[in-house]
Amino acid sequence: MGIEARLIKQKIGVEITGINLSQPQSDDMLSEIRRLWVDHVVAVFPGQIVNDDQHIAFSQRLGELELINMAALQCEGRPEIYEATNLDKDGNIMTDDHPILTINRGNQKWHSDSSFKAVPATASMLHAYIVPEEGGQTEFANMAAAYEALDAETKELCEGLTAIHDFYWSRRDVEEQAFTKAERDAIPPARHPLIRLHPETGRKAIYVGSHTREIEGWNFAESRALIERLIVHGTGPEFTYRHDWEVGDMVLWDNRSALHRGLAFDDQREKRRLHRTTIAGTGTTL
Ligand code: OGA
Ligand code: MN
């Protein structure tokens, strides 16, 4: 059986059907999938019946996996799986002030996964188990297409700049005591080029998001203004795709060239649980 690929939007997204991700894939199939998702930044695989082990096994074909650094964010017994959820380990909705819920709500800001690491993630793949009736979609932005659409002056301004990314900047609204000192020390700020060269496509992409604190050597207010301007530009309608989740959907995206964010939902009434694997990067970005 061959796979079918349908472009979702001109500048972002491909839907891949005719494939069963619970089964091992051939090397040829893997390279076809890799070509499709790298070219289109986001690949959607609807209606997969896949468990965590199969999700991990498929993801490992794309590269080594990151292990989730905070135990409270992991799926029990599986450090390869991050749970994007408002539910506790018993399946109950977390209270409004629960620090883990606050950390997870941080995903509602545009970001690139683990850009706070010196070697940030190559890709991530979410699998939907429980989805709310309303809201809770995930949006993706093609930051390579956004780079190409910048005016020449802004491209020149950004060239050669280095940005500082910091997990505790994007989570500055989370109570101090939610993190142990060891957890803080384990994630020091990281430096990345503001304009990142994609190692597989050779395309340049704007590399900023919620973890980006400031631009090295710039004053703070000017840093913030440029970072926010780039995020607003990159997440405009022509560069973005909004995924409306159905249970069983799997979505794979390229963190080197995409921003993403979860949209809000009524997390004190409705339930949502998605599992994510994270494909580790292969080197530093500078
Ligand atoms: C993530 C993430 C957004 C969402 O899992 O990395 O940002 O919609 N999730 O849950
Ligand atoms: Mn994320």
Q: For residue range 242-270, what is the model confidence (pLDDT) as tens digits?
A: 999 999 999 999 999 999 999 999 999 99
How big, in percent rounded to 5, are the helix, strand and coil portions of the chain?
30, 25, 45
For the beta sheet containing 123-130, the strands, ordered from the edge strand earlier in sequence to the opposite edge, are 4-7, 14-17, 42-45, 250-254, 123-130, 273-279, 78-85, 74-75
Q: Give the closest residue (by CA) to ligand 1 atom 8.
A: 262
Beta carbons of 275 and 127 less than 8 angstroms apart: yes
* Residue 177, φ and ψ in degrees, nearest 5: -70, -5
Which of the four pLDDT bands, split at 50, 70 and 90, describes residue 72?
Answer: confident
Domain membership of residue 252 (yes or no) is yes
Per-residue pLDDT band at 168 (split at 50, 70, 90): very high
Task: Give 182's contacts (C-beta < 8 A, 6+ positions apart).
Answer: none
Which one of 44, 126, 241 would you pick to mutate in the ligand 1 pocket, going by the greatest count of ligand atoms within 8 A of its CB?
Answer: 126
What value, to the nearest 5°, has the Cα angle with vertex 84 and ends 103 and 112? Answer: 70
**Token code pair at residue 58:** 């498929």
Residue 10 lies in a domain: yes
pLDDT attached to residue 229 = 98
Helix ranges, 93-219 (H): 99-105, 143-148, 152-158, 167-170, 181-186
Query: Ligand 1 mean position to 179 CA, how many Å?
Result: 20
112: phi then psi, degrees, rounded to nearest 5: -120, 130
Cβ(107) – ligand 1 distance below 6 Å: yes
pLDDT, mean of residues 44-63: 98
Per-residue pLDDT, averaged over 66-89, amounts to 92
Terminal CA-CA length for the chain: 42
Q: Give the mean model confidence (pLDDT) for residues 149-153.
A: 98
Q: How far apart are CA 27 and CA 35, in angstroms?
A: 12
Q: Is residue 284 part of a domain?
A: no
CATH of the domain at 214: 3.60.130.10
Q: Are 44 and 21 in contact (CB under 8 A)?
A: no
Q: List, in order, residues 6 or more apart from 193 with CB less than 8 Å away.
A: 160, 161, 162, 163, 207, 285, 286
65 Cα–ligand 1 center, Å: 17
Q: Answer yes or no: is 286 within a domain.
A: no
- Name the residue of 113, 125, 274 to mutate for ligand 1: max ligand atoms within 8 A of Cβ: 274
Domain that holds residue 94: 4-279
Sign for the pseudo-dihedral over CA of 233, 128, 196, 161: positive
Whole-number Å distance, alpha carbon 19 to ligand 2 midpoint, is 25
Q: Is 260 in the pocket of ligand 1 (CB under 6 A)?
A: yes
* 274 C-beta closer than 6 A to ligand 1: yes
Provide mean pLDDT across the span 186-201: 96
- Residue 1: pLDDT band (50, 70, 90) is low
240 belongs to a structural domain: yes
| Residue 153 domain-assigned (yes or no) | yes
Cα-to-centroid distance, 10 and ligand 2 (Å): 23
Q: Looking at the domain assignment, is residue 285 inside a domain?
A: no
Mean pLDDT of 174-190: 86
Query: Does residue 139 form part of some domain?
Result: yes
Mean pLDDT over 98-114 rounds to 95
Cβ 84 under 6 angstroms from ligand 1: yes
Beta bridge pairs of residue 253: 42, 124
Query: How many angstroms is it from 260 CA to the middle of ligand 2?
Result: 6
d(CA 164, CA 242): 28
Rounded average pLDDT over 149-164: 98
Calculate how far, in angstroms, residue 111's C-alpha sits from the geometric centre of ligand 2. 6
pLDDT (mean) for 205-231 = 98
Tell me, what's the pLDDT at 76?
86
Average pLDDT in the chain: 96
Domain total in the chain: 1
Q: Residue 69: which pLDDT band, with cuts at 50, 70 and 90?
A: confident
**Distance, CA of 104 to CA of 225 (rounded, Å):** 25
